[in-house]
Amino acid sequence: MCLKKAGMMSGIKKITEGLIFIYIYRFFYSLVICNLLIVSNLMLMRTGKEGIFMLKIISMNTSLLSISILLVLLTPQLATAKSSPCEDSLKYLVDAYKDDINTQEAFDKIYAGLTDLPDGYSYEHSSKNPWKKAESGEGLMKEMRSMFEKWCVALPEIEGDNDNALDPILYFSWFYYKNWAGQDFVQGRNPVKPDQELTTGSNFLAKWDRQYLAYMNSRESTKKVKEWVKDTRIEIDDYVRQEYKSWNAFFARNLISDRKGNYPSRPVTMQERDYVIVSPTDCIMNPLVQVQQIDGKYQRSYIDNPLQKDTVLDVKNIPISLNDMLGNANETIKNKFVGGTGLACVLMPNTYHHFHSPVDGKVIHAEVVKTGTIGTPGTFGYPDFPNWVPIDGNVGRPGTDFSQFQAFQRGVIIIKVSYNNLPGHKPKKITGYVASIPVGLNSVGSVVLNTCDSKETDHVNCFDIGKKVKKGKTKLGNFFFGGSLNILLFSKDMVTPAVQTRMGNQIGIINIGKSPKSDWTLDKP
């Protein structure tokens, strides 16, 4: 209520200022016109060319005087005009650096910890970390401010099924790539004294996120939408046609559904068979893998039976901690996933950004866990982003450490599944559990659950806790622009750790087009 009242008062203030400006301008203009008429009458008493010439001079001076008055009156407005939609957050960063010694020392520490790029990555034919061009902690702060000013209004471009939406996300990731100081800073800790709080970085990102979100929800953000709609690989005819009033309105576009609530462009495979699990959305899918360090060497294998419940601080030891990943679900439910398996479903910027139930069943738990970078929905601070988004495009490939997502904002939806046993076997019905964990990645990768009482969704095929859901039909939620991941976890003995498909179903897309160049585009291999 206070926020609404403050917003109303701000609006009234702006209207009042505008009316005062109009009245003052009209007063001065009327005064000038009156003087002009008086002088004109005097001039008419004069004859010939002399009178006409003097009238022209007076008219010109009057116009110049009017313009001068207008500029004087506009000066306060011009002085307070913002050069960027994110100006407030950018100013906060600069002021914090200027006034706070801890922030200055933090940037020095981050700069000292910058790590060069892994093999295959380069900018301007150099594998040197691009943030090193700052040459100092102060320079690093200035580079950060400059980048986020550009990023605030950078709209993704597309060609074929390639786009540059991830360019700024990857570029900023080098700020904290294998750099604990950078990770501490963006997540609200003091890089010099990690056991102490330093909120400059997290506060800046929270402020910037809010302003960036406002921009992506504004009409200004629609400038590139037409080129996306025209791109054949967007398959816009699959979606409900509308005038997209913002980038996020386009990004979270809805598929066309029929009278029964089914989606003709995404038919569900063998909907009547209770043992068939379907993809929750359009995505790149890989099995989760175990990443263990043994005797200094990394070993990778599919997660066959390693899901453990205990929290492990060494993220390179066990890839998933169920206690954290499953949020506030009760202990009995969490125990169902011990020894289970999982799949990673990564959504790309040019695809459908709603996620659906992968199984028939009943929702027994649903929540949004708000953790990660304080005050932001994103996952700033992922220590090895290139491993997550490799050059070959196989996002979330085997070898990806998914444990890092247990600390970031995510949804947790747990579905109880009942499916038929073999004929003649007891019990006739077997019970299993599936967890859908949507994770909002960098920038404004917001997670929104499609509960029937939500004010943020369209309520088409919505769900409620305790109610049944249908695979491929019930919409569990959606993401807004940023990055998006849907982790699926299965209870023990329910699913083998591999993606299984059927004849005639999609297994890939033939690639066309090249990613448009941005300010942060990697060199092409």
Judged by DSSP in three states, 67 sits in helix
Would residue 254 count as lying in a domain? no
Judged by DSSP in three states, 57 sits in helix
Domain count, the chain: 3
Give the pairing of strands 158-159 and 447-449. unpaired
Judged by DSSP in three states, 126 sits in strand
Same domain, 435 and 364: yes
Q: What is the mean pLDDT of residues 498-509?
A: 90
Same domain, 139 and 163: yes
- Please report the pLDDT score of residue 314 as a whole number: 25
Q: What is the mean pLDDT of residues 356-382?
A: 79
Closest CA to 472 of 389, 375, 360: 360
Q: Phi then psi for 299, rounded to 5 degrees? A: -125, 140
Indicate whether 343 pLDDT > 60: yes
Q: CA 409 from chain center: how many Å?
A: 11
Q: What is the mean pLDDT of residues 352-370?
A: 94
Q: What is the mean pLDDT of residues 266-275?
A: 94
Same domain, 73 and 128: no
Task: Tell me how many degrees the CA angle 198-82-151 measures, rounded to the nearest 5.
Answer: 60
Would residue 486 count as lying in a domain? yes
Q: Give Cα separations from 291 to 173, 320, 397, 398, 499 (angstroms).
A: 21, 10, 12, 9, 19
- Cis peptide bond N-terminal to 427, omega within 30: yes
- Please report the pLDDT score of residue 497 as a whole number: 74
Question: Is 326:310 a contact under the CB 8 Å cutoff?
Answer: no
Q: What is the mean pLDDT of residues 473-494?
A: 86
In percent, the amount of the chain with pLDDT more than 70 equals: 70
Same domain, 76 and 103: no
- Please report the pLDDT score of residue 480 as a whole number: 78
Last residue of a domain, one of 15, 49, 80: 80
pLDDT per residue over 276-332, tens digit each?
A: 999 999 998 887 765 444 455 545 555 544 455 543 322 223 345 677 788 899 999
Same domain, 420 and 385: yes
For the chain, how big is the Rg over CA atoms in Å?
29
Last residue of a domain, one of 80, 104, 134: 80
- Please report the pLDDT score of residue 371 as a whole number: 62
- pLDDT-derived band at 410 (thresholds 50, 70, 90) equals confident
pLDDT per residue over 48-98, tens digit each?
A: 555 555 555 555 555 544 554 444 444 444 333 458 999 999 999 999 999
Indicate whether 147 pLDDT > 50: yes
- Please report the pLDDT score of residue 340 as a whole number: 85
- Please report the pLDDT score of residue 131 as a whole number: 98
- Please report the pLDDT score of residue 288 as a whole number: 72
CA–CA separation, 229 vs 345, rounded Å? Answer: 24
Closest CA to 388 of 185, 166, 132, 183: 166
Last residue of a domain, one of 205, 226, 247: 226
Element (H, E) at 92: helix 87-99
Same domain, 317 and 388: yes
Indicate whether 226 pLDDT > 70: yes
Would residue 360 count as lying in a domain? yes
Would residue 176 count as lying in a domain? yes
Q: What is the mean pLDDT of residues 508-516?
A: 89
Instruction: Give the mean pLDDT of the chain.
Output: 80
- pLDDT-derived band at 130 (thresholds 50, 70, 90) equals very high
Q: What is the mean pLDDT of residues 34-39?
A: 50
Would residue 508 count as lying in a domain? no
Same domain, 54 and 101: no
Same domain, 73 and 98: no
- pLDDT-derived band at 359 (thresholds 50, 70, 90) equals very high
Same domain, 76 and 93: no
Would residue 513 count as lying in a domain? no
- pLDDT-derived band at 181 (thresholds 50, 70, 90) equals very high
Same domain, 277 and 419: yes
Same domain, 34 and 138: no
Indicate whether 509 pLDDT > 60: yes
Count Cα neighbours of 327 within 13 Å in the Cβ-side half-sphere.
22
Q: Phi then psi for 31, rounded to 5 degrees? A: -60, -45
> Can you list the alpha helix ranges (DSSP code H) found in 113-191?
137-151, 167-173, 180-186
CA–CA separation, 352 vs 127, rounded Å? Answer: 34
- Please report the pLDDT score of residue 400 as a whole number: 55
Same domain, 273 and 385: yes
Would residue 355 count as lying in a domain? yes
Containing domain of residue 380, as a range? 269-490
Indicate whether 202 pLDDT > 70: yes
Which one is predicted more confidently, 348 or 473?
473
Indicate whether 398 pLDDT > 70: no
